[in-house]
Structure 1
Amino acid sequence: MTLNQLRRDLSGLACAPLTPGLARFTWAEEGLDFEVQELPQAQFLMHLVVCEFRLRVPGSPGPQARIDIHHTGAIRRQGVAAGLKQGAQEQWTGLLQQLHSDPQLLAALLPLDFKRLQLQRNEQGWLVRLEHFGASEVVNRLPGFRRYIRLSAEQREALLAAFRRLHSLLRNH
């Protein structure tokens, strides 16, 4: 049900359901496609359904890595920090520097409201996993209600710009 709401927020992109709770969105103009998976999370007398956006960037076989990205700044967002969680630091120094300082990527990530952004490298290439604050649904039992938190037009543009730039940066690593 959450993916049906998200389909409206991402109007203009082709959407193909893959399995219940999983769909592929295609951005034909940029030649990009990404998957969105519903992730239900149980809470006391309620549950959340958040969407995880997954962008695959094919690449040649290489070393494995995992990089977590988050906003910096205590009150206002001042930048992004990229931390290597798996892999050899010396192999990924150049990419980490690009993730910290690329102006196009920063312009896309600073306004983007995300809980988690993770880049994972394996033998097939990169997998970008982004969990957004929007594009989620709150379902409560007492009192009974459902509320979808939209992916606003500004957030949509920031998300697509971030995916476009990450695809460009990661396909060379």
Structure 2
Amino acid sequence: MSGRATTIGGVASAAGWRRWLAPGPVPGYRRGATLARVAADLEATLAMPDDGDAARMTLSDGIALRADERVDRQFLLHTVSVQLERTLAGPDANGSASIAASGWVRRGPVAATLARGADAHFAARVATLLATPALDAPLAALDLTYCELVASGPRWTLRIVPFGGSEVVGRMPSFRRYVRLADAQRDALRAAFAGFETALARVQDD
């Protein structure tokens, strides 16, 4: 094979890999399917907009949540998880913090890692929030993929991506596996969003 033919073949091969790895529709992804299963697990009502915006999930106790699907695309498979968030009025502060359970061998209370730029008011109030059993206990009981507290002025948001309520979809071999959000995990998630309101009220009373 000539050098020119080898070069052309290499370019074609590289172009093929770029097409394979390029962003685009995820094969096998069914928009809204995982959200619907999570809503069923939580015994919640789900409103899906037609314009692609976030869905609205309402729990049986009236708590309204913003709900989004997050798709993590990997080679020959993808994972769909659901991000749930509740936004409430609270004291003025600015910042964000990731929340995770402490302890390696035995799970302990949750702890916050402040993002750069968080102000002192935010740091102090996050500490108070997480010291409130109504919020700390259910968060510590949850298997979390991700959790975050965010404040933007008087608007406070608790954002949770639970491990339960996620789906893994493979292409080779073809499979689809959903991890239910059930029993203790379901109850802890519901309690966390209810406890967020209780904890914020405590912060405002201080």
TM-score bucket of the superposed structures, by smaller chain = 0.7 to 0.9
Q: Structure 2: 5+ residue runs without aligned partners? A: 1-32
Identity of aligned residues (%): 33
Ranges in structure 1 where 5+ consecutive residues have no aligned partner: none
Which of the numbers 51, 74, 94 marks the counterpart of 1:43? Answer: 74
Match of 2:166 in 1: 136
For residues 124 and 105 of structure 1, the distance between their equivalents in structure 2, rounded to whole angstroms, comes to 19
Q: Work out which of the two has the higher radius of gyration on C-alpha atoms and give 1 or 2.
A: 2
What is the count of residue pairs matched by the alignment? Answer: 169
1:109-140: per-residue Cα shift (whole Å, max 9, x none)?
Answer: 12111121111111450122111111111010
Runs of 4 or more off by more than 3 Å in structure 1?
19-22
Residues 9 and 153, structure 1, Cα contact 8 Å, conserved in 2: no
**TM-score scaled by length of structure 2:** 0.74
**8 Å Cα contact 1:113/1:155 also seen in 2:** yes
Q: How does 1:1-173 map to 2 (within 5 A)?
A: 1-11=33-43, 13-19=44-50, 20=52, 22-29=54-61, 31-59=62-90, 62-85=92-115, 86-89=117-120, 91-123=121-153, 125-170=155-200, 172-173=203-204
* Between structures 1 and 2, the one with greater helix share: 2
SS of structure 2 residue aligned to 1:129? strand
Paired with 2:37 and 2:60, the residues of 1 have a C-alpha distance of 21
SS where residue 48 of structure 2 aligns?
A: strand
RMSD: 2.0
